[in-house]
Amino acid sequence: MFGFGVRLGLVFIVQAASLSAITVSGLLVYIAYTSALSRIKANAARKWTTATHVHWYFLSLLLSEVIQAVGGIIDARWIAEAMVTEGLTCKAQGVLKQAGDVGAALASLAIALHTFFALVFRWRPSANNRLPIFVLTAIWVFLILLVSISLGTHKGKDYYGNTQFWCWITEQYPVQRIVLEYMWMWITAFLNFVLYTLIAFVIFTDRTAVVADWRIRFVKTTEEGQSVPGWEKRLALKMLVYPAIYTITVLPIAVTRWLGFTGHQVPWAATVCADVVFASSGYLNVILFTLTRPRLLPYRRNKEHSFSTNSRIISSPPLSPHSTFHSRITSQASDTMGDSRNSPFFPSTPLPLSSLKLQQEDESIRKSSSPPSESTAVPATGDMISM
């Protein structure tokens, strides 16, 4: 029977898992609602699009976080009963914990690899969704096989069962515990650290990786004519928080589990703290992606971000697509409207309507600012030129 201290610790874990489940599920429902609304109404105020590969990986991560959180919430039954009881619920918790943990790790790794190749090698993926769909299919097929094969090969045995405080892979299978779950979490945490360190190096030194004769060298972006836009640097620097968050949530539980595997006595308080942090990963991921990847969330179409046809200027020199003013305005449009045609983060997609409108207005200004022909009356000095 569990004592008061054990049950209190499990309460904290259930609370953290519930917070993650609520926030992640809420975001998924909101995304589904805005996605459906955008299909019904072409001019919907908010819309969700899978315009980039990261959108797909982000959805997979959210689904894995929900599965992981549900596995933690099942601890509420062990609190009520003051003990872990074998049965279908126990086995379900073991399955959910393993699938959720590994699924979140693989989705995080996919995001890290995409970000790495986009920023370090200036990779521009194609506009179609074949690659992310293939990656996600491989991930989820792997998860299904991971669970089904484990259940099939250990039928009638205590493979998923009582592990003292909850249900998971039992202590009779220490190799499977590491190879079929923790190994993937450790690999993802390590690669996140390595990949995002290289990303930080590229961003801070304004370099890009070039492959030549099977050798990789880092050159200044000015040498390649690929200077990284300022808004992209700011976004990438914010994203460097991601590996830190993942490491923070994984490292404590990895250390406590490893000590337990090697026969060391781990204090219950340390186990609770590690599991509370790990169970909060879904909530932290929602907050993190909301702050660092705003374009992953459904966005509101704001008239203030469009260039009004009523805007007027007193005078304007002829503008070209390479002018400083045009570049500055285009950069601002990229920030506010999500125009990503020059960003290696996103696939090459047709120019949005707002960008085409901007080009038309630019051309209109250029024509209006050109010397008048003999048949055209010259406007008075104080007249206004409409955009």
Q: Degrees (nearest 5) of the Cα angle 238, 66, 8?
A: 100
Distances (CA, A) of 305 to 42, 250, 334: 18, 40, 10
CATH 1.20.1070.10 region(s) of the chain? 4-300
pLDDT by residue, tens only, the chain of 387 residues: 899 999 999 999 999 999 999 999 998 998 888 878 777 776 655 555 656 777 888 889 999 999 999 999 999 999 999 999 999 999 999 999 999 999 999 998 998 888 888 777 777 777 677 888 999 999 999 999 999 999 989 887 889 999 989 999 998 998 999 999 999 998 998 998 888 888 878 777 776 766 666 666 666 665 444 555 566 666 666 666 767 787 889 989 988 988 888 888 899 999 999 999 999 999 998 887 777 665 555 545 544 443 333 333 333 333 333 433 333 333 333 333 333 444 444 444 333 444 444 455 555 555 554 444 444 443 333 332 222
Indicate whether this model's pTM tops 0.85. no
CATH topology (fold) of 4-300: Rhopdopsin 7-helix transmembrane proteins (1.20.1070)
Q: Tell me how crowded residue 3 is: count the other CB atoms within 10 A of its CB.
A: 9
At residue 143, φ and ψ (nearest 5 deg) are -65, -40
Contacts made by residues 155-164, CB under 8 angstroms, sequence distance 24+? 158/86, 159/94, 160/90, 160/91, 160/93, 160/94, 160/95, 161/86, 161/90, 161/91, 161/94, 162/84, 162/85, 162/86, 162/90, 163/84, 164/84
- Structure tokens given for 193: 């650290």
- Which alpha helices (H) appear in the chain, and where do they start and end? 4-40, 53-73, 75-81, 88-120, 130-153, 174-177, 183-205, 221-224, 230-239, 241-261, 268-279, 281-292, 324-337, 353-369
